[in-house]
Structure 1
Amino acid sequence: MSHFDFVLCLNLVLCLHRPSRPMEFEDVSDASPLVPSGVVRTPQSLRRRLAEIDDEMADLQARLQRLAAERRPVVQSLRSIFYPVLDLPPEITAEIFLYCVNTAYIGNDGNLTIAPRLSTEGHGPLILASVCRAWRAIALGLRPIWSKFHLRTGLNTISSTQKLLECWLPRTGGHPLDVSISCPAVDTLLADLAPYAHQLQTLDCSLLAPITFPGSFIEGRLPLLKKLYVSLYGDLGSPPTLVTTFAYTPSLREAHLDGVTLPWIALPWGQLTCLGLSNIGSTDCVHFLHQTLNLETLTVADIGYDDIPPLPVRLAHLHTLKFHEYQRDITLLDHFTLPALTTLELPVVEWDLTQNFLDFVARSACALRSLVITFTGANVPFDPIPYLRALPTLSELRIRAAEWGVHTLRHFLGVMAEPTFLPNLRTLSFNPFPHSIELPYADLAAFLAARWHGRSDKPGDARLESFELVLGPDLDFDPNPSIAQLQDGLDALRALEVDGPKLNIRGLHRIAGTVDALAICPPFDRRRL
């Protein structure tokens, strides 16, 4: 064996017996925290990555410290902001809640969720209770805002309404309840209300003919019921079914019946002092009045005149009679004798009933104090002067929606200025006066001056203490007075405001302060300047 072969064999033996060294791999980029499977880092790369992580954590900690230092003054500034409403005494906040919540709506009619919600009638108490902890405590403890609600639900949502009632009703405590129910599930909801029937002071419900009204739930359990509203719908041709649920209600004083006639309902008629009747015939109306001889207030609407002449009725205690503006037939007056009447509201009807009215006043021999005349859009001429001449005791006259032109108004003011016309008048109101802002201000000022300065302090010679004229949005500029005439009238009205009756004349402008003739002159008419 040569020397070369010997050296080669020796190296081979040494290689076979030497311990193996770790394999070296290419360093993986430290930019990614994820290490691929099977890749091993060197100690040097791991130390570098650890140092980078420590540096990054130090930067983050430093940034957190800077943000915390910046946050402290912001929090202090927010705490220093003053919210007056949150610092009000609880009793003041509770009083505000009482004005805020009018009627809460409970239920779901299948189309619109109304439990509870913002509405034109008011805010639900649950909305107030969701604002903050303090308001929640006040709202949950304020029984009156939970005690007036409207139940309205469909048959498919009755279950959810019942669950809400279970939580709602205990909040009322022992406070009197005002409840309105308008849904087909009246029987089910009345069963839920039955444990609280002794708290009901107002109930509004509808009956569907043929009647299946479940009166047994609350009958005889209504000691506080003072107001009752009942509407009857459905097949009224079916035989009457007498509802006796409210026959024994010792506190009941006010009832409003819509479409309900005497054979359908039993009430303690003799103790009623306020009655509202609608959607029945004149004969049925008089039948009710023969049962309610202690009435003090009567309201009628949509009473149809039938062919059966009703019997005369005398109501010795009735002081207020209101014909709703939709009541276009006031021939009921032909059958009334009302000696105690002091307040009357009349609509303008489609034919002349002046003589009927004069006969009624003469027959009743009443001392009427307040009269409201409402123009109903019947587009018929109506002259209130004959009515008013028969009422020398009148102290308050209110005319609503008078469809008069300027000429008619000027004539009316001229008659009103007569010293013997309505000598006791103290209040006159046109609200609204729909058609004109180009008013005869000079005539108006002369009328007011005559009713103020031309009167003495003797009994029966009263001054006009209050005058209201609210102008509507429709414009009517015929005839067109001159700027000088407008200004003279406005100056005279302004002088009366200083020492004269209480004036409220408003429309597009409040007639006071710096308003002048140019401000109320029609733009197309300013060429007269």
Structure 2
Amino acid sequence: MSAALRTRLAEIDTSIVELRSRLKTVEDDRRSIQQQLDDITYPILTLPAEITSEIFLQCLPGNESVFHRTLWKPYPAPISLLHICREWRFIAIATPRLWTFLQLNLPDLPDRFLKTERYKEFLSEWLARVCGRPLSLELATLDYFPNPGEPARLLVTHTLHSLASHIRTLHLSIYPDHYPPIPLDFPLLRELLLGYTTDSEEEFNVENSIQTFSAAPQLRDIYMFCKAAPSFFAMPWHQLTVFKGEEVSSRECATVLGLAPSLVQCTFDEPYSTPDTPFTTHMGLKSFELCETGDVLFRFLALPALQTLQIVLYDSDDGDEHVLPFISRSSRSLLKFSAPASSRVPVRCLLDMVLLTYLVLDTPETEYLTELVGLLDRANTWDSLPELQVLELSHCAPYINEPLITALSSRAVAQEGRARLRSFRQTWLSKDRSQRTYRVDPAGYIGIALKKLADDGMEIHLGYSSL
């Protein structure tokens, strides 16, 4: 009896082995057919992983700025790429460049993310995917009112502590009391954007300077906006080369220039006047941009090493009282000057710009152009703008006439140490379609003269432009 059972058991084992072999063959056939079907239906899966990785990088939203990438939400890349298929998930996780931009905006985060401190695990996973590469981080409480309080402060503190050693570019828009109270080590930080919450009418006061960024040996660029004041922050100001401030007081502007002797490029957008602003001279600044109403800063500044000046001025009752002296103090070394051509920046101020090579004038009126052309004609003013090589007249009425041709021709060749004009551009804006199709008669005097200038090597562009 037992012998018969053993025989039967052996037969069953043999059948199992045969069935498993047949099942393996069928499964192999299925995988082969599925692979062939995938190659037909999903040809992208046949691409090498390196190419797929590059395609993934192009899926990142917001090409114009790293701070327009909304990466926490589940539907944009790169998080969405993790949920397509196993192959894509593997490639996405194995592509560190996908994870070098992180944006955390409080309004986008679910409550459980803060209350359960889910962000700790999330940040750990994100950091692992970066694989040691420098990171760009935006952390903001934008439009989140009232003050989100302790959970948000813990999120900010933990995020900065966890990622500080990896951050190269940092954008913070948070409440002043959310900054960590002690200095953090930012060995890679080079660009810093700081602002407070938007749309708030509250005036922020900081009793003690914020020390968070005092240990940032590579910090070079700072941009302050939304009521963030330079004097609120302890920074390695001496090593900065670029600064931009929006709605900063005139006293704070002077503070920045005084604290940052290595500054090369500086922008002040809509500064406002405060009493007791000291007169400030910066000996190293090369590039300066100013957009203001009135003469908030002109009366307080001297920039003797300036090479590039771009100003946008709005109406003021002061006229040229402070504009002209400022330009006179800062014009001898100018190489590029850009400004709206108006009575606030009169033509005569150009006479002091003896090294100027690039001149851009926006929305000049006909009367202004007539005076400018007279200045440019070397037969009239031999010494004016001797180094000028590029002239751009933007958003003006079409101004193409014999005096202009005469002035351009007088600068078509280098003469006795005077540079030749290499490029002339004139563009205009108009709702009148007839002006959009403005044409120069190629057989007329002006057309022939322009062609000769172009044949001799001057780059000439004339025509309608749109904003």
Q: Distance in 1 between matches of 2:387 and 2:401?
A: 24
Partner in structure 2 of residue 203 of structure 1? 170
Q: Which whole-Å deviations, capped at 9, do the CAs of 1:382-440 have from their partners, x for residues lacking one?
A: 4531221121211111123x1524x5434433432334321100111234x1x53x542
Partner in structure 1 of residue 178 of structure 2? 213
Q: Distance in 2 between matches of 1:498 and 1:89?
A: 51
Partner in structure 2 of residue 9 of structure 1? none
1:371 equivalent to 2:337? Answer yes
Partner in structure 2 of residue 173 of structure 1? 131
Q: Distance in 1 between matches of 2:87 and 2:393?
A: 47
Tell whether the 8 Å contact from 2:83 to 2:89 is kept in structure 1 after alignment: yes
Shift of the 508–251 alpha-carbon distance from structure 1 to 2, 3 Å rule, reads closer
Displacement of 1:373: 0.6
Q: TM-score, normalised by structure 2?
A: 0.72
Partner in structure 1 of residue 189 of structure 2? 225
1:429 equivalent to 2:400? Answer no
Tell whether the 8 Å contact from 1:338 to 1:366 is kept in structure 2 after alignment: no
Matching residue's letter, 2:348:
P
1:143 equivalent to 2:108? Answer no
Q: Which runs of 5+ in 2 are unaligned?
A: 1-35, 142-147
Tell whether the 8 Å contact from 1:213 to 1:243 is kept in structure 2 after alignment: no
Q: Distance in 1 between matches of 2:56 and 2:432?
A: 40
Partner in structure 2 of residue 56 of structure 1? none
Matching residue's letter, 1:388:
L
How do 1:59-458 and structure 2 match up within 5 A? 90=50, 94=54, 97=57, 102=63, 103=66, 104-107=69-72, 114-117=73-76, 124-126=77-79, 139-154=92-107, 157=110, 159=112, 162=119, 165=123, 167-183=125-141, 185=152, 187-208=154-175, 211-215=176-180, 219-233=183-197, 234=200, 235-236=202-203, 238=205, 240-258=207-225, 259-306=227-274, 308-324=275-291, 327-351=292-316, 353-363=319-329, 366-374=332-340, 381-382=343-344, 384-400=346-362, 402=363, 404-405=365-366, 408-418=368-378, 419-431=382-394, 433=395, 436=397, 438-440=398-400, 444-453=404-413, 455-456=414-415, 458=416
Q: Which whole-Å deviations, capped at 9, do the CAs of 1:251-289 have from their partners, x for residues lacking one?
A: 112222222335522112222222222223212322333
Matching residue's letter, 2:97:
P
Displacement of 1:466: 1.7
Displacement of 1:214: 3.9
Displacement of 1:96: 9.5
Q: Distance in 1 between matches of 2:373 and 2:392?
A: 12
SS at match of 1:105: coil
Shift of the 302–481 alpha-carbon distance from structure 1 to 2, 3 Å rule, reads closer
**Farther-moved stretch of structure 1 (385-394 vs 364-373):** 364-373
Displacement of 1:245: 0.8
Q: Distance in 2 between matches of 1:430 and 1:493?
A: 16
Q: Distance in 2 between matches of 1:443 and 1:241?
A: 62
Q: Distance in 2 between matches of 1:300 and 1:369?
A: 20
Q: Which runs of 5+ in 1 are unaligned?
A: 1-74, 108-113, 118-123, 510-529
Shift of the 301–448 alpha-carbon distance from structure 1 to 2, 3 Å rule, reads same
Tell whether the 8 Å contact from 1:294 to 1:316 is kept in structure 2 after alignment: no
Tell whether the 8 Å contact from 1:281 to 1:304 is kept in structure 2 after alignment: yes
Shift of the 91–417 alpha-carbon distance from structure 1 to 2, 3 Å rule, reads farther
Q: Distance in 2 between matches of 1:504 and 1:126?
A: 46
Partner in structure 1 of residue 464 of structure 2? 507
Displacement of 1:213: 1.6
**In terms of Rg, which structure is larger?**
1
Tell whether the 8 Å contact from 1:442 to 1:485 is kept in structure 2 after alignment: no
Q: TM-score, normalised by structure 1?
A: 0.64
Displacement of 1:472: 2.5
Aligned length: 403
Partner in structure 1 of residue 11 of structure 2? none
Cα-Cα RMSD: 4.1
Matching residue's letter, 1:426:
Q
Partner in structure 2 of residue 65 of structure 1? none
* Correspondent of 2:424 among 454, 464, 467: 467
Q: Distance in 2 between matches of 1:244 and 1:226?
A: 17
SS at match of 2:196: strand
Shift of the 181–430 alpha-carbon distance from structure 1 to 2, 3 Å rule, reads farther
Matching residue's letter, 1:385:
V
